[in-house]
Amino acid sequence: MIEANLRLWEATREATLRRTAHLTPEQASLRPSPQAWSIAEVLEHLLISETLYRETIARLIGMYRSGRRPSISQGLADIDTVPPFVPKELLRLMDIPLTMMNMFVPPFLRERMMTIRLFKAQSPSIARPKADKPVDQLRVELAESVRATARLLRDNADVDFRRLRYSHPVLGTNNVMGILRIVAFHEKRHQQQIDEILSSQSRARAA
């Protein structure tokens, strides 16, 4: 089961790399609006997000191997993914209501909602782009990052990944297979964003 979800994740990253294979530095750094991210910033966000989830999985594997209960729970104060209309100062009050609501949302629906860009959410502060990296460097790091995630999982294939649990008020409670699907569907959402930016650039050139 882990291999099927890992292949989904690897295929998703490969699709991102194909989309950005021939970008010029100008295309990568151009923002469609002052408030919007450039493609380079989107790619850095994806890199940071995967690294965070890989580190979480590594922590869970360590807990499992040491005989501790392999469970990590984070709140909105840790990963502040919320709808844009929710003020940041209310985050601590939203953990319990969102957790309760998520108990009634099936995983497949949560995954579907994650890919629909009509459902807006603020990117968590911890995963926002921090550096102005060249697009070629970002693509190299993204390719290495997915290999690092695959190595972590395949090197620990004897672990019962179903028992490793990560909980978040917005993302629900997921085992490692669920985490991989979250990462994949999150990236698919941003692939749509990349496509929209490239389309707007093409229309601007035509005009």
Average pLDDT for residues 47-73, to the nearest whole number? 97
Task: Look up tokens 């999985």; give the residue.
Answer: 57
- pLDDT reported for residue 192: 93
- Residue from 65, 66, 47, 79 nearest 174 by CA: 79
Contacts 24+ apart (CB under 8 A), 28-34: 28/134, 28/135, 28/138, 29/132, 29/135, 30/197, 30/201, 32/196, 32/197, 32/200, 32/201
Residue 8 has pLDDT above 80, yes or no: yes
CA distance 189 to 193: 7
Confidence category of residue 151, pLDDT binned at 50, 70, 90? very high
Whole-structure pTM value: 0.85
Give me the sheet containing 172-174, strands edge to edge. Answer: 71-73, 165-168, 172-174
| pLDDT mean over 5-14 | 96
